[in-house]
């Protein structure tokens, strides 16, 4: 006897379908989750009603696809996951010529036909709410109990129908900690090339679910073992067996995976997890042996890493905002590596570079990075020192907008007209304030503005952009130097 807790918004739909003379079952991942005593994120219903019949039964629906799935809207619920429940007719599918979607779909099918077309046995179980009855023709419950991921029928056929199923197997492995059955595993590795036919957006979405899973380290390891990682982020493969210096217990690859796993253990959000996985991705490209100490060095790997991270995320069609955030964290992750070299002025410039909203993320990434070296824990003293310094400078001016004077006030007291010179004065003031935040009072800045107004635009431009130009020149020189030594130009 099953004692599942089914939301009223869901049972109401199956009951309405049955009262209209149709069959109705819960199906797929939601049934699997119920057997795992997990709350389903989505609820899916399958029925022998055709799309137009489903639409005629419910007053609030939408239908915008080729596969018969009708969204039934529960407008009165407060639970966002129940706002829309998908109802799909039993269906059979034709050939998958493009390896992504069926050439044809037929709704003249039985429940058993519908279950037979599904990917894995653990997702090919149906549940009748009203009868409290399970339909399980492929022994999916047994595989759930034993923690096995197995395809429905011949694995080569299942994966040739939709190459994304290859990634889905690795994702379920990462989410649930299940093992992949041997023949299924062999088939995934053999058919990995099918990912070439899959849209980058679909690959990205499965990759995200792996990274956001409780066991992302296992997930990425499985991607490598199953020959899939090369179709997602081949740059990561270059880190395998790349030895590091004595501060690290692991090679670069293992370090990246352990840093990623620690970010998951801390329940950090996606952008920190991605930064954890990619933060040292360019160490192989920047590695050289020190003549003085004989140790491996990786100078500039964070600069190269930012560009590599951006390239990977753009290739996988990640949103620009997320790409910028992750790349920025990778670029600056080395800042907190040497406490003795960090000054309040340096922290203020860091905040100006990465943005106040990203500083604590950088701190959290650093903590994961440190644990990933193989050390037992993050150093409490160091963390306290970092946090104290960051908190101390958070109220200091790190951008023109935080100065106690603005362009209008400068024009008022200097009688200068609007123009580039006003901006040069503001940036010259900011350059001084970054080194000495105590000057950020209205009276002091008024005096500075008057003094600066007597300088020529050329002199002001030199003052205001001195720091910025120097920083950009150093960055460019650093990149060019690294490319000449370690990259093919």
> pLDDT for 243-285, tens place per residue?
887 777 788 999 999 999 999 999 999 999 999 999 999 998 8
pLDDT in the model for residue 398: 52
Is 95 buried (19+), middle (13-18) or exposed (0-12) by CB count in 10 A? exposed
Kindly state the tokens that stand for 226. Answer: 């199953």
pLDDT in the model for residue 102: 67
Q: In the chain, which stretches have pLDDT less than 50?
A: 397, 467, 470-475, 478-479, 482-489
Q: Where are the domains of the chain?
A: 8-146, 148-232, 260-393, 402-468
Q: In this predicted model, what pLDDT tens digit does every residue of 171-189 receive, in sequence order?
A: 999 999 899 999 999 999 9
Q: What is the DSSP string of 46-99?
A: EESS-HHHHHHH-SSEE--SSS--EEEE-TT-S-GGGSEEEEEE--EE---TTS
* Superfamily of structural domain 8-146: Beta Polymerase, domain 2 (3.30.460.10)
pLDDT in the model for residue 233: 97
Kindly state the tokens that stand for 126. Answer: 């149906």
Judge contact between 156 and 189, C-beta under 8 A.
Answer: no
pLDDT in the model for residue 489: 39
pLDDT in the model for residue 331: 94
Judge contact between 252 and 283, C-beta under 8 A.
Answer: yes
pLDDT in the model for residue 341: 63
pLDDT in the model for residue 80: 84
Single out the residue of 204, 232, 408 nearest to residue 322, CA to CA.
Answer: 204
pLDDT in the model for residue 437: 76
- Cα-Cα-Cα-Cα dihedral sign, residues 37, 39, 41, 44: positive
pLDDT in the model for residue 381: 67
pLDDT in the model for residue 95: 72
Same fold, 8-146 and 148-232: no
Fold exhibited by the domain 148-232: Hydrophobic Seed Protein (1.10.110)
* Strand partners for 71: 62, 86
pLDDT in the model for residue 371: 87
pLDDT in the model for residue 81: 83
pLDDT in the model for residue 160: 93
């Amino acid at each position: 006897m099953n004692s599942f807790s089914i939301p009223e918004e869901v049972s109401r739909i199956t009951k309405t379908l049955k009262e209209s003379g149709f069959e109705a079952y819960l199906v797929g991942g939601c049934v699997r989750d119920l057997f795992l005593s997990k709350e389903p994120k989505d609820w899916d219903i399958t029925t022998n009603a055709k799309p137009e019949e489903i639409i005629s039964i419910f007053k609030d629906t939408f239908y915008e696809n080729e596969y018969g799935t009708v969204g039934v809207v529960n407008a009165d619920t407060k639970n966002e996951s129940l706002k829309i429940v998908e109802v799909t007719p039993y269906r059979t599918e034709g050939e998958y010529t493009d390896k992504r979607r069926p050439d044809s779909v037929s709704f003249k099918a039985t429940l058993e036909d519908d279950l037979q077309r599904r990917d894995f046995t653990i997702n090919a179980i149906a549940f009748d709410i009203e009868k409290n009855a399970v339909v399980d023709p492929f022994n999916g419950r047994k595989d759930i109990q034993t923690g096995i991921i197995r395809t429905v029928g011949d694995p080569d056929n299942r994966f040739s129908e939709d190459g994304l199923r290859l990634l889905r197997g690795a994702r379920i492995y990462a989410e649930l900690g299940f093992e992949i059955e041997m023949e299924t595993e062999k088939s995934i590795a053999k058919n990995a090339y099918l990912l070439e036919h899959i849209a980058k957006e679909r690959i990205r979405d499965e990759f995200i679910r792996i990274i956001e899973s409780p066991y992302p380290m296992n997930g990425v390891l499985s991607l490598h073992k199953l020959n899939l990682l090369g179709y997602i982020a081949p740059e990561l493969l270059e880190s395998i067996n790349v030895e590091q210096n004595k501060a690290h217990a692991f090679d670069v690859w293992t370090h990246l995976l352990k840093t990623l796993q620690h970010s998951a253990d801390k329940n950090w959000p996606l952008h920190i997890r991605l930064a954890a996985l990619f933060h040292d991705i360019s160490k192989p490209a920047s590695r050289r042996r020190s003549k003085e100490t004989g140790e491996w060095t990786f100078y500039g790997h964070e600069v190269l890493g930012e560009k590599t991270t951006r390239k990977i995320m753009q290739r996988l069609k990640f949103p620009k905002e997320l790409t910028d955030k992750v790349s920025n964290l990778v670029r600056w992750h080395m800042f907190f590596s040497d406490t003795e070299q960090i000054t309040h002025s340096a922290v203020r410039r860091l905040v100006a570079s990465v943005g106040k909203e990203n500083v604590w993320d950088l701190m959290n990434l650093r903590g994961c990075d440190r644990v990933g070296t193989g050390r037992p824990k993050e150093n409490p003293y160091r963390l306290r020192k970092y946090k104290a310094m960051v908190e101390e400078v958070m109220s200091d001016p790190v951008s023109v907008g935080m100065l106690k004077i603005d362009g209008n006030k400068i024009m008022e007291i200097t009688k200068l007209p609007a123009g580039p010179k006003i901006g040069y004065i503001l940036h010259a003031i900011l350059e001084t304030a970054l080194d000495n935040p105590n000057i950020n009072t209205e009276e002091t800045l008024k005096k500075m503005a008057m003094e600066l107004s007597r300088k020529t635009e050329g002199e002001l431009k030199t003052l205001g952009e001195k720091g910025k130009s120097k920083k950009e020149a150093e960055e460019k020189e650093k990149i060019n130097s690294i490319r000449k030594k370690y990259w093919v130009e």
